[in-house]
Amino acid sequence: MKESIADLRQKAILTSAWDAFSAYGYRKTSMDDIARGADMSRPALYLQYRNKRDIFRTLVQLHYDQACKAAAAALAGPGTPSDLLTAAFMALGGEVLEVLLNSPHGMEMLDTTTATAADIVLDGEMRLHAEFALWLARLEASGNGHLQGSAQDVAATILAGLKGIKMAGTDYTIYQKRLGLLGAMLGAGLLVL
């Protein structure tokens, strides 16, 4: 299906904004930077977005939309609990986190996310929680897994672990390694003995 001009324009704006935020940080990125990167005038950009905060919020929303889909797809695949958790964690820790963890402005962008898009983050985290809780409930109901608490509590614990690894401020290679370890450890703990 062919993308419309409006969709292509939107994609150009968001790509340009992401590149600018990654290169300069949120505070130093201007609407001029974003317009220039999207190959459009600043007035044309203002027809699409009121300000860079709105653009940033859109990027956060897109991240959570993609993260929820990726987690659900990974958890629906074949494999052991460790395999599925690790696949879901890696799907969640994709390109966005690679840029954030390798950018000198990554922590600023994470802080900005909390400050400018707390409602989107809360909704996105709730959706991720629901995906993990649903998978855990299905795992236990199938007789292939055993939970040490409710599916809701275990899902919350999993997400807290993921958040802790992300906020440790390591580079992306170490982050991926720790995601793999977390997936293996948690998955092993879910196996029926």
Residue 1 has pLDDT above 60, yes or no: no
Express as a percent the part of the chain with pLDDT over 70: 97
CA atoms within 13 Å, Cβ hemisphere of 162: 23
Cβ neighbours, 10 Å, residue 60: 22
Residue 70 has pLDDT above 90, yes or no: yes
- Domain architecture of the chain: domains with CATH: 1-49 (1.10.10.60), 53-190 (1.10.357)
Whole-number pLDDT of residue 55: 97
Q: Is the dihedral of CA 61, 63, 66, 67 positive or negative?
A: negative
Whole-number pLDDT of residue 169: 64
